[in-house]
Chains A and B, each alone.
Chain A
Amino acid sequence: MKTLNIAWRMLRVALFNKNNLLMMFLMPLAFSLVFGLLLSPSGDENGNALPLALYVADDHPVTNILVEQLRANPRLVIRDMVTEAALQTAVQGSEVVAGLLLPAGFGEQVQAGRVPTVTLLREVDTNLFVAAEQELQGLFTQFASATVTANLLQAAPAADSWLDIFTRALAAWDEPTVGVESTAIGNSEPSIQEGTHIGIGFTVMFVMMAISTAAGCVLEEREWGTWPRVLAAPIEKGQLVAGYVLGYFGLGWFQLGILMLLEKLIFGAEFGGGWGLVALSSLLILCAVSIGMLMAVTVKTFQQQQAIASIVLTITSMLGGLFFPVEMFSPALMKIAVLTPQFWARQGFVDLVLRGSSSWAVLQKPLLILAAYSAVFFLIGWQRLRTSE
């Protein structure tokens, strides 16, 4: 009963604190929004087409067809430039991903079967630039095919004009008969939204952040002088710790539940369900509590604990791949990434939600690693707490 009482009191204190609420809910949503906008794959239907500056120094039917095709491409947004200098300035100012220059005589060269060269300007090589380059290469493959068709057929007697054949051959690409069919393996639900990766990342990060900073309240009580009174109260230390841990669990579940709901409603993120979700979330919270406890008994003041927790957790979250995909990490950095509990928490959610595997065989690794981290942090923290008073 005392245990429950302590838990309930903790929960109330934490939820009536406006700062806590901001950190628990507003921050992860704000981060999801900003990073969602920044990292959404460019060139998709969501209006994030790649901006490409275009300067055309040529006037020829073939060139005009190319320009039309560029404009019609939903993955590109064409910005027309009136001079070559303007093209350069646009590229330098990073207003566009790249600048395409179609030189004088371009159309004629294509028609004559000579090798035309166009220039693609860039400021820095980014993956957006590579994406734009890919788009153009695809278009040029179509052009090459149409050129060869026109060259081949116009020699025949009573053939249509080169340009007619060229246009017709290009139109055949509108309904391709050979294609690529891409399927996600393992997941029963095909429509996993973009928001899921980011949603998982920031939910894990801010649950850890909120719960482990909340775990610093022991220090606050020490500063207020209420801690010795709690210790002097007729209650066993085991009951006391159980009460606190239970309180944090309540808090963690409350935060996770609401965050998952909001992330789902606003960003379309999915979090899966079943025993896997329960086990993962519980271990995530347990891990956060033990990290917070360990920090609380290591430093002296509440302020220090808050600062250390936010520094350590932000850095380990970045290293654990919660901000950026770990696929971008170098092998050396990857070895560090797997040392963070956040990496495994994210991994568990990715297995559960995105890979759709809820079997013990797959989830045991992240679950056991999180459990091991929690146990180690908790034991060290508990040891110090016992010896400190």
Chain B
Amino acid sequence: MQVVWIALKDLRLAARDRTGLLLLLVMPLVLITVLGFAFGGAFASRPAIGRFEVGVVDQDGGQLATAFWDVLQDESLQELLVPTTLTADAANEAIKTGKLAGAIVIPPNFTSDVLGGQTANLKVWRDPGQQLRPMIIETVAQSFVDNLLATRLVVEEALRSGQNIEPHEIESLGLQIAIEMNRVKVRLQADAIASGKHVDSFLYYAIGMACMFLLFSGSLGLQSIASEERRQTLARMMVSPTAKIRFLLGKSLGQVNIAVIQFVILYLVTRLVFQTDWGSPLAVMLLALAYAFAVTGLSMLVAALIPNRAAAVSAWSIGVQIMAALGGSMVPLSQFPSFMLKVAHISPCYWGLRGFLDLATGLPLPLVNIFVLAATGLIGITLGTWRLARG
């Protein structure tokens, strides 16, 4: 019974702590809103980058320059790029001031060099102040050049093996080859695996932020032990007929309760406001309970291992942010390089987030994740309580 009273007292204190509520409830909700809107497109069918202007500087005036301009008018590229003809100076100036992400420059004699079998380079001028757009421009230029080279290599190989091609035939042959290449080119059919439901950015960040800020709630446990020490109520508790173990279990239970209640509030608000569908409520709650348990275990462990409470609290808040970033709360897991995906396994956030994602996409209850989280909680609470009770 004492265990429950202690837990309830901590819960009441948490509910009265306005700053704490701000951190545990308001901040995640604001972040879900911001990130959800910011990356509205990131999880849809296209990478989230809007249409942007690209400069085209034609210093060549040949037929390949015209051909390139035609390529840029292609429907799929039109969704991404707005090509604008510019003089070299204007393009340079616009890039320098960051108004233009980059320009593709067709240098003098490009057409005659390419057709005449000379070495030639298409030029890309890019703004080093931008990260994504210049990369896209480079890719577009590269794919045009690849197609040119493809045709030219066929002609060269034909000439080398003694085929008789008159200079005036080259152009029409080139066209024929281009058509033929287009015909035999391997078709890439991109199929999305039907893995049930689609996770949009609001649902993803609702899950991600819940995982991150539940971890933050772990610092409440640390703070509450710290403040009892400071106010000398800890010493009184210790001499009262409450066994140390019961006191610590009460603290742990209070901590689990706080995290679970925090989760339920975040869950309900995101469901009602953003209409996010987390999947089967029972399974979600079970996983949330395991997660809250893991958070509590880890905070008890930190409390036991770092006797200086202020240091423990700040280590916790730094650790939380790093674990959240590693676990996929900030950058989506699907964008992780393979190496980082392995590293992510050390973060409790990863196990929670991955599990919630599975549930959201309609997969069955992720037992492995629940087991890992519950085991973390159990080991943490046992070891932490044992160390604290002895100390």
Contact = CB atoms under 8 A, between A and B. Distances in A.
A and B: real partners?
A: yes
Interface of A: 18-19, 22-23, 26-27, 30-31, 34-35, 37-42, 47-48, 51, 77, 88, 91-92, 94-96, 110, 113-128, 130, 133-134, 136-138, 140-145, 147-149, 151-153, 156, 159, 165, 168-169, 172-173, 176-187, 192, 197, 301, 303-304, 307-308, 311, 314-315, 318-319, 323-325, 327-331, 333, 350-351, 354-357, 362
B48 interface: yes
Contacts of B40: 330
Contacts of B318: 22-23, 26-27, 30
Contacts of A327: 49, 52, 101, 130-133
10 contacts: A38-B336, A48-B337, A113-B184, A128-B335, A145-B154, A168-B157, A181-B123, A182-B123, A184-B126, A192-B128
Contacts of A48: 337-339
B157 A165 contact: yes
B143 interface: yes
A110 B138 CA distance: 29
B135 interface: yes
Interface stretch (B92-100, B242-250, B285-293, B373-381): B92-100
Given A115-B184, A122-B191, A122-B192, A311 B125 contact: no
Contact of A38 (B138, B193, B325): B325
B338 A38 contact: no
A95 B338 CA distance: 7
Consensus secondary structure, chain A interface: helix
Given A182-B134, A328-B49, 17 more contacts: A35-B331, A110-B184, A119-B189, A125-B47, A128-B335, A144-B181, A145-B154, A149-B158, A182-B141, A183-B126, A185-B125, A186-B96, A186-B127, A324-B38, A327-B52, A330-B37, A333-B38
Contacts of A125: 44-47, 192
B231 to A, nearest CB: 15
Classify chain B: how many residues form its interface, as a range: 35 or more
Contacts, number: 311
Given A48-B337, A119-B189, A125-B192, A22 B96 contact: no
A130 B161 contact: no
Contacts of A40: 337
Contacts of B337: 37-38, 40, 42, 48
A186 B341 CA distance: 37
B124 interface: yes
Interface stretch (B1-9, B24-32, B267-275, B382-390): B24-32
Nearest to A27: B318
A177 B149 contact: yes
B185 A144 contact: yes
Contact of A118 (B52, B187, B338): B187
Contacts of B151: 145
A120 B199 CA distance: 21
A34 B325 contact: yes
* Top-7 shortest CB links A-B: A145-B150, A127-B47, A144-B185, A184-B128, A182-B124, A181-B121, A144-B181
Contacts of A355: 96-98, 127-129
Contacts of A192: 128
B90 interface: no
Contacts of B321: 27, 30-31
B34 A315 contact: yes
A178 B186 contact: no
A333 B343 CA distance: 32
Interface string B319-334: 0011001100011111
Contacts of A18: 310-311, 314
Contact of B154 (A149, A182, A303): A149
Nearest to B177: A148
A27 B318 CA distance: 7
Contacts of A173: 149, 153
Contacts of A182: 123-126, 134, 138, 141
B190 interface: yes
A362 to B, nearest CB: 7
B147 A141 contact: yes
